[in-house]
């Protein structure tokens, strides 16, 4: 499954399709990373514009959306909602963003507390990988081949996260298989394979947590990226690996 930088946009409007109509066009937008936005919603925008002012309002919103897209390095703008109102907005987006628009016919309204257009994003990105993430996978393979700034396997990856050494975390998308469990503490870098190891670092409040959730929390806390890789593309030992910010110094010869 992809981890994509996106701007999701839903245009609410149910009135007459004319600029002389009463009422307002309501626009919701969310800039963030998919699928992380399923559990950690990204930057939100919520605007209501009178229908008569919609062309001018759409141009202003287009500039705001372009700024959001630039800020997160968005690869795609996913646009849904009323066909007439969203069409006006799409035509007034800045040129650099217009070529990245994907339109979906999403029914219903977005659900509070969930990623905007969550179900449609799941379908849209299933089985795809962004060019940025493909490049990161290539970098991981290159570092792994020369035993450089990379790890593979749960134990080595957890150790690197404890040190804040991970630049990009790679996890295999294993579908419905049961994930392993880690021990965690109150801080993002408080994680270990065993309770005893974590307590040996002086962490008192410890608990068990699914490994995927613990790793995701650690990477957010340390500013690392996440790439979910289907096993058919790259099988990682224990389903985990990392591209490091720096390589460990080689051990001194005796």
Per-residue confidence at 6, pLDDT binned at 50, 70, 90?
confident
β-pair partners for 227? 170
Mean pLDDT across 107-124: 55
Name the band, by pLDDT with cuts 50, 70 and 90, for residue 98.
confident
Q: What integer pLDDT is reported at residue 119 of this predicted model?
A: 55
H or E element, residue 83? helix 83-91
- What pLDDT does 252 receive? 36
Burial class (CB in 10 A: 0-12, 13-18, 19+), 144: middle
| Average pLDDT score, the chain | 80
Look at the chain and count its residues.
254
Q: What is the mean pLDDT of residues 70-97?
A: 86
Domain spanning 4-125: which CATH class is it, in words?
A: alpha beta
Architecture of domain 131-244 in this structure: 2-Layer Sandwich (3.30)
pTM: 0.52
Three-state DSSP class for residue 228: strand
For residues 113-131, give the mean pLDDT. 57
Q: Is the pLDDT of residue 38 over 90?
A: no
Q: How far is CA 188 from the centre of its chain?
A: 18
pLDDT band at 1 (very low <50, low <70, confident <90, very high): very low
| Of 93-107, 156-170, 203-217, minimum mean pLDDT range | 93-107
The DSSP letter of residue 162 is H
Q: Is the dihedral of CA 89, 107, 27, 55 positive or negative?
A: positive
Please give the DSSP secondary-structure letter assigned to residue 171.
Answer: E
Instruction: List the Cα angle 219/115/136 in 5-degree steps.
Output: 40
Q: Of 115, 116, 65, 121, whose CA–CA distance to 89 is shortest?
A: 65
Domain ranges of the chain: 4-125, 131-244
Model pLDDT for residues 172-221, shown as the tens digit of each residue: 866 545 568 899 999 888 999 999 999 999 999 999 988 877 887 888 77
Beta pairing class for 191-192 and 181-184: antiparallel
């Amino acid at each position: 499954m992809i981890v994509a930088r996106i701007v999701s946009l839903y245009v609410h409007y149910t009135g007459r399709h004319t600029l002389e109509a009463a009422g307002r066009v309501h626009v919701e937008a969310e800039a963030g990373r998919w699928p992380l936005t399923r559990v950690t919603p990204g930057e939100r925008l919520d605007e209501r514009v009178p229908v008569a002012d919609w062309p001018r309002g759409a141009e202003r919103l287009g500039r705001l959306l372009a700024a959001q897209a630039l800020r997160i390095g968005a690869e795609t703008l996913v646009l849904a909602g009323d066909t007439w109102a969203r069409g006006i907005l799409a035509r007034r987006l800045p040129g650099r963003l217009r070529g990245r628009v994907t339109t979906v016919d999403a029914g219903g309204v977005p659900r509070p507390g969930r990623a905007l257009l969550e179900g449609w994003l799941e379908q849209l990105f299933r089985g795809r990988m962004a060019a940025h993430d493909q490049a990161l996978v290539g970098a991981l393979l290159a570092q792994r081949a020369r035993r450089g700034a990379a790890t593979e396997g749960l134990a080595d990856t957890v150790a690197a996260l404890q040190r804040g050494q991970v630049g990009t975390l790679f996890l295999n998308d294993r579908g419905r298989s049961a994930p392993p469990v880690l021990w965690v503490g109150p801080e993002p870098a408080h994680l270990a394979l065993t309770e005893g190891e974590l307590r040996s670092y002086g962490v008192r409040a410890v608990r068990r947590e699914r490994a995927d959730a613990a790793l995701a929390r650690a990477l957010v806390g340390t500013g690392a990226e996440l790439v979910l890789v289907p096993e058919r593309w790259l099988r990682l030992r224990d389903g985990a690996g990392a591209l490091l910010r720096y390589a460990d110094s080689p051990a001194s010869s005796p």
